[in-house]
Chain A
Amino acid sequence: QKEVEQNSGPLSVPEGAIASLNCTYSDRGSQSFFWYRQYSGKSPELIMFIYSNGDKEDGRFTAQLNKASQYVSLLIRDSQPSDSATYLCAVIISGNQFYFGTGTSLTVIP
Chain B
Amino acid sequence: KAGVTQTPRYLIKTRGQQVTLSCSPISGHRSVSWYQQTPGQGLQFLFEYFSETQRNKGNFPGRFSGRQFSNSRSEMNVSTLELGDSALYLCASSWGGLPPPSGANVLTFGAGSRLTVL
Interface residues of A (CB under 8 A from B): 32, 34, 42-46, 49, 51, 88, 90, 92, 95-103
Residue in A49, A96, A103 whose Cβ sees the most chain B Cβ within 10 Å: A96
| Interface flag for B25 (CB, 8 Å) | no
Q: Is the CB of A32 within 8 A of B104?
A: yes
| Interface flag for B56 (CB, 8 Å) | yes
| Interface flag for B24 (CB, 8 Å) | no
**Chain B contact patch, size range:** 20 to 34
Question: CA A88 – CA B90 in complex, angstroms?
Answer: 14
Q: Is the CB of A97 within 8 A of B42?
A: no
| Interface flag for B33 (CB, 8 Å) | yes
Q: Is the CB of B104 within 8 A of A102?
A: no
Contact of A92 among B104, B109, B110 (CB under 8 A): B104
**Residue in chain B with minimal CB distance to A46:** B106
Question: CA A98 – CA B55 in complex, angstroms?
Answer: 12
- Across-interface contacts of B105 in A (CB, < 8 A): 32, 92, 96
